[in-house]
Every structure is written in C-alpha cells, then in structure tokens.
Amino acid sequence: MGINKKLSIIIPVLNEESTIEEIIKQVKNAPVFDYEKEIIIVDDGSSDNTKNILKNIKEKYNLIILRHNKNIGKGKAIRTGLKAVTGSAVIIQDADLEYNPQDWTLLLKELNGSEIGAVYGSRNINSKKRGYFHYVLGVKFLTFLNNFLFRTKLTDIYTCYKLFPAHLIKSIKLDSNGFEIEAEITAKILKKGLLIKEVPISYNPRKFKQGKKIRFKDGLIGIWTIIKYRFKE
C-alpha cells in the first residue's frame, strides 16, 4: 500500500439527523489495523438538522465536511467525496446504522495483490437479516444480471461496503448521480479485468419509515446501468 497507510471513509448523508453522530462515533472507534483514518462527510443537500449537527461535531471528530446545495444523489455524493480523498484505501459508509464499521477489518484483510479491484462486504453470505422481500429480490436480480453479463459469481453488488485501493477508484471516471453508482463501479472494475472479493458482513436493515431511501425506480435504473456499461466501450 506504500508509505501512506490511510483509510479514507466517504459518508454520503441526506437527512440523517437521528443517526449521523452515532455512526460517526462508530466510525471513529472502529478498528482498522495500522491505518490512519480520514473521515469525509458529503451532505447531499440535507433539509433537516443534519447540517447543524455536523457543524457542531466537526472539530470533535476531525471531519472533512463537503456539501451540495441541493439533493443530487448518493452517486454524486460519492464522486464529490472521492475528489477529497488523500488516503491509500477508500471505503464507503452509509450514514444510517444498517452497516457496522466493526466489520471493516474483514474487508481490509483482503485488500492486497495487484489483481484486486475491490473488496465487497456481502449481506447475502451467511445472512441473518435481509430486510424487505421485494428489496432483497431486487438486489438479487441486479446481482444475477451482473453475473450473467460479466461471467462473475458475486452475491451482492449493491452493498454499501465497497473497499478500494484509492489509486484505482480515483482513476475510474464515474458518471452516476444516484444509487446506480453501485452497478457502475462494479461494471467498470470488472471491465478492467480486476477481481472483486467478497466477505460476509452483518446487516441491520431499516424500514422506509425510518428513512430508507432506495426505491423501485432505482432498481430499473440499475438494470439499465449494468447493461449500458457492459457493452459501452
């Protein structure tokens, strides 16, 4: 990984006033072997109290805070965050409490070798909690389509937990603004002929009334994204 042993953590945020400080605490306390942490928050136009909470805890947690004046989408938030990355590795962390940063070490153990394009934390290996049936089915179909077109055997391409060598993910031109960035990233890494490893992670799905944001239309966009980037030069 070179001399710069730093893990850059990108956290896209949209109206997460009830969870944002707790997840930042978990991120701050999560073990990451001998990596230094760089925490990059991208507020994607929150209209609740998220902005003020972040302002108040910025120095306490040594945060880098970026902000969109209006809501654009998770993909754009990740792309904005990548511009600020100075670490040697990058991981995405949602601002809710569905994913547990204690699982990061499972991914970090696998981030070695020049053929590795990414390490994904899969919710579908040894899964105990799955969330809404139609949501689980949608992710399975998107993953199946990806596997069929790219001849892979992945189990969860829409997982939040994606860990990358920083030089690689920053070298890929990403275009997506919404949740379809998950499919775009996967497609573009695979088209480079690189390997995506998967490790099992814990998952605590929340309900739509608790703020879950992905919707049916995002699945349709995801289908088109997989097909588009499979055949696009």
Tens of pLDDT, residue by residue, the chain (233 residues): 446 799 999 999 999 999 999 999 999 999 999 999 999 999 999 999 999 999 999 999 999 999 999 999 999 999 999 999 999 999 999 999 999 999 999 999 999 877 899 999 999 987 665 555 566 788 899 999 999 999 999 999 999 999 999 999 999 999 999 999 999 999 999 999 999 999 999 998 856 554 455 677 888 999 999 999 999 87
State the helix-helix crossing angle for 216-231 and 181-191, rounded to 10 degrees: 20
pLDDT of residue 132: 53
pTM above 0.85, yes or no: yes
pLDDT of residue 139: 86
pLDDT of residue 2: 46
State the helix-helix crossing angle for 181-191 and 133-150, rounded to 10 degrees: 20
Sheet holding 195-200, edge to edge: 63-68, 36-44, 6-13, 89-92, 162-165, 116-122, 195-200
Domain extent listing, the chain? 6-231
End-to-end CA distance of the chain: 30
CATH superfamily of 6-231: Spore Coat Polysaccharide Biosynthesis Protein SpsA; Chain A (3.90.550.10)
